[in-house]
Amino acid sequence: MEDLSIAESNPRRPGQTTVTRDAAEPMEEEIRAEFESSGFSIGGADPGAAAEILSTLLTYCINYKMSPADLVSNWEVYYLNRQLNGLKLESSYLDGFLSHLQNEVKDRIIKEETSLHIYSSNDVDMLLSSTHTDEEGFLDTPSTKQEKPNGESCNSELTPLTTDRPSSSRLAKTNGDRITPFSQRVNKFTQQYVLNSDNVASVPSKDEIESTEDEVIRRVQPSKRCTLQVQHSQPEPGCRFMYDRIEDRFNYLEDRIRRSGSLFSASGLCGEPADATLASEESMFSVGMVICDGEGHLNEKSILLQGSVEHSRGQRVRLDLKDVDRFSLFPGQVVGIQGHNPSGHCFVVSKLNDSIPNFVDAQLPRAKKQAVDSEGNQSSDVVSRVLSSMGPFIDSDHPEIKKGAVDQSFQDIFLFEILRKLQDFTQYLGHNVRVILIPSVRDAHHDFVFPQPAFDLNLPEDITHQIHFGCCTMDILKHLSGEEISRKPPGEKHGDRIGRICTHILKQQSYYPLYPPPAGVPLDFSLANGALEIASAPDVLLLPSDLAPFVKVLSLDESSEEPKRFICMNPGRLAKGIGGGTFVELNYNEDTDKTSASLIRI
């Protein structure tokens, strides 16, 4: 952007910078091209409105030092979080988008300048509230023996990683003293909303709006024992990775298509899959994987279907969806199609089925089941209460870790800042509680591979039976949101897009059905086969994501008399920058009508 000549002009909005018309036009066209490559249009059919929007977007690029590609990436995050309808960028969205950019810049400054504190209304609320009571509560704890930087509270999930750390010989004792027992903590939590089984959010009562951490912990104490089975098929700890070959990639994709074709045939709803690439005027049924023709995002003109080697020698054919009034597609999705191919080059689809038939009721292999608690019974009255804590715990994006400003190993930070607090948690609640830790590819102390093996730790005997380690997390919701295209019948209102994306996970019977994965996802195909497969329909599906947190009751097949209902939730992130985030308290019952959930903001 060195060639842009900056010129001041009035009147203009505060904080805006203008550029000369000749210098601006090439960059405006670059911005337009970036938005169109992502599937968005600017201003619709009105050229005047489009020109005004492009001028404003150009100003955003200059003021916030962004390239057009960075601007579009920020727009996609804003678009997904606000769950906007349609793919047209209108002028009414610009003010909200500007606020989003300002917040992003503020967060970036905070990460870069760790000693800088930007004051907000939260600071005013803190000063006006009864903070003295909270301070007195902390003065009674051992944590005040050590000085805290910037007045940080002593019960944060991950204490700020500063360089003035104790030596390794004093590390265990020092970190142990800094843990405040749960029964003595007084930080407040705010209950954002309560959701029932009909996806209706209700505002909590005045007494429920704020509660202390101790009250939240007491509320989740299990009153009955139950049997909980954690189904896991992740790679074993210590497995080799980064050894996948082209053959592994081919076998993974071929197995998905072939297995799905077998399930379609076994369902009795359709015949044996045929070769969709053969020219025929007769109607036929075929199964294959949705592929994008070329680089860029999927669109209605670039949809290809890749068949299995068994039925079509792995060849691809273009799909014509003009006769299908409703669909939701993304690359890597396995679908069944009905139609004909009159020319041999294009398959005209009359019916599309994006849901692989019901899960096989066969029992899982014994090695893939772990009985967390073998006592109790399974009835509709028994409610399972478990703490599921999902990474990243030692976030590789943490500014102190990026700078290399910590003087202890990531493993030590995890042991003393995370596991010791979990040990305190389990001791406070007793032997009934179960804790499941799920690592993330962003965990600096764990293997950077997907699918990811569980943590391999030597725990004290008194908590070994209480803390269990699950499989990897990946932001599949955010990835699918950027790749999915859909069509609805004319006149129909926009549906729940996030809910639709969630159901794709179970319809495809895969924790990560998207292919190819976005850049930065360390997908190892030598480990993926079987590890990413959802072998049986879960009652609760956890999908941690950077998108807005939610809890939803969803159905796999609304057309059936008794559709399979399941609970899907994104609890959000426990910490966001220097502030608190969100978590979900779920009171689960086998009867979803008796299930409730609360989204709680820290």
pLDDT at 156: 33
DSSP state of 498: H
Span 494-528, pLDDT tens digits: 788 999 999 999 999 999 999 999 988 999 998 88
Which of 193-202, 406-415, 586-595 is the least confident region?
193-202
Nearest to 578 by CA among 262, 264, 149, 11: 149
Higher pLDDT residue, 373 or 210? 210
Q: Cα(527)–Cα(450) distance, rounded to whole angstroms?
A: 8
Q: Which of 252-256, 410-414, 465-469, 593-597 has the highest mean pLDDT?
A: 252-256
Going from the C-alpha of 573 to that of each of 581, 582, 601, the distances in angstroms are 5, 6, 10
Domain at 23-110: CATH architecture: Orthogonal Bundle (1.10)
Span 113-140, pLDDT tens digits: 655 555 554 554 544 444 343 333 333 3
Q: Cα(162)–Cα(401) distance, rounded to whole angstroms?
A: 10
pLDDT at 559: 63
Nearest to 504 by CA among 331, 388, 382: 331
Which of 119-128, 275-284, 356-365, 409-418 is the least confident region?
119-128
Please give the average per-residue pLDDT across 551-579, as a whole number: 82
Work out the pLDDT band at 535, boundaries 50, 70, 90.
confident
Q: Taking a C-beta distance cutoff of 8 angstroms, is the pair 100, 76 a contact?
A: no
Q: Is the pLDDT of residue 578 over 60?
A: yes
Within its chain, how far is the Cα of 552 from the centroid? 14
Higher pLDDT residue, 564 or 375? 564
Q: Is the pLDDT of residue 49 over 80?
A: yes
Please give the average per-residue pLDDT across 259-268, as a whole number: 90
Nearest to 284 by CA among 244, 236, 243, 337: 337
pLDDT at 334: 97
Q: Are strands 579-580 and 435-438 parallel, antiparallel or unpaired?
A: unpaired
- Return the percentage of the chain with pLDDT > 70, whole number: 67
Sheet harboring 540-542: ordered strands across?
540-542, 565-570, 550-555
Domain at 246-353: CATH architecture: Beta Barrel (2.40)
Higher pLDDT residue, 82 or 204? 82
Q: Are strands 346-353 and 316-320 parallel, antiparallel or unpaired?
A: parallel
Please give the average per-residue pLDDT across 320-331, as a whole number: 94
Please give the average per-residue pLDDT across 442-457, as a whole number: 87
Q: Cα(599)–Cα(506) distance, rounded to whole angstroms?
A: 23
Higher pLDDT residue, 245 or 189? 245
Work out the pLDDT band at 233, boundaries 50, 70, 90.
low
Work out the pLDDT band at 195, boundaries 50, 70, 90.
low
Residues in the chain: 602
Q: Is the pLDDT of residue 462 over 60?
A: no
Q: Is the pLDDT of residue 162 over 80?
A: no
Mean pLDDT estimate for the chain:
75
Span 281-306, pLDDT tens digits: 999 999 999 999 988 889 999 999 99
pLDDT at 384: 44
H helix or E strand, kind and range, residue 283: strand 280-292
pLDDT at 319: 97
- Return the percentage of the chain with pLDDT > 90, whole number: 27
pLDDT at 454: 83
Q: Is the pLDDT of residue 419 over 80?
A: yes
H helix or E strand, kind and range, residue 569: strand 565-570
Q: Cα(46)–Cα(30) distance, rounded to whole angstroms?
A: 19
pLDDT at 207: 53
Work out the pLDDT band at 215, boundaries 50, 70, 90.
low
Q: Cα(105)–Cα(257) distance, rounded to whole angstroms?
A: 44
Write out the DSSP string of 319-331.
EE-TT-S-EEE-T
pLDDT at 23: 58
Q: Is the pLDDT of residue 453 over 90?
A: no
What radius of gyration, in Å, describes the C-alpha atoms of the chain? 27
Work out the pLDDT band at 402, boundaries 50, 70, 90.
confident
Question: 12: Cβ–Cβ under 8 A, 6 or more apart, which residues?
Answer: 18
Within its chain, how far is the Cα of 124 from the centroid? 32
pLDDT at 28: 87
Nearest to 15 by CA among 65, 51, 50, 60: 60
**Three-state SS at 301:** coil
Which of 7-16, 51-60, 357-366 is the least confident region?
7-16
CATH for 213-239+383-601, options being 3.60.21, 3.90.550, 1.10.1740, 3.40.630: 3.60.21
pLDDT at 365: 40
Q: Are strands 280-292 and 303-306 parallel, antiparallel or unpaired?
A: antiparallel
Please give the average per-residue pLDDT across 168-196, as a whole number: 48
Please give the average per-residue pLDDT across 307-319, as a whole number: 93
Q: Is the pLDDT of residue 531 over 60?
A: yes
Q: Are strands 41-42 and 88-89 parallel, antiparallel or unpaired?
A: parallel
Question: 365: Cβ–Cβ under 8 A, 6 or more apart, which residues?
Answer: none
Write out the DSSP string of 66-134.
--HHHHHHHHHHHHHHHT--SSEE-GGGHHHHHHHHHHHHHHHHHHH-TT-----HHHHHHHHS-HHHH
Spell out the domain ranges in the chain.
Answer: 23-110, 213-239+383-601, 246-353
Q: Is the pLDDT of residue 261 over 70?
A: yes
Q: b/e for 467-503, b at 16 or more Cβ within 10 A?
A: bbbbbbbbbbbbbbbbbbbeeeeeeeeeeebbeebbb
Work out the pLDDT band at 589, boundaries 50, 70, 90.
confident
Going from the C-alpha of 311 to that of each of 60, 115, 246, 352, 579, the distances in angstroms are 52, 62, 21, 18, 55
Work out the pLDDT band at 579, boundaries 50, 70, 90.
confident
pLDDT at 373: 36
Q: Which two structure tokens, joined as six digits, stand for 74?
A: 């920020």
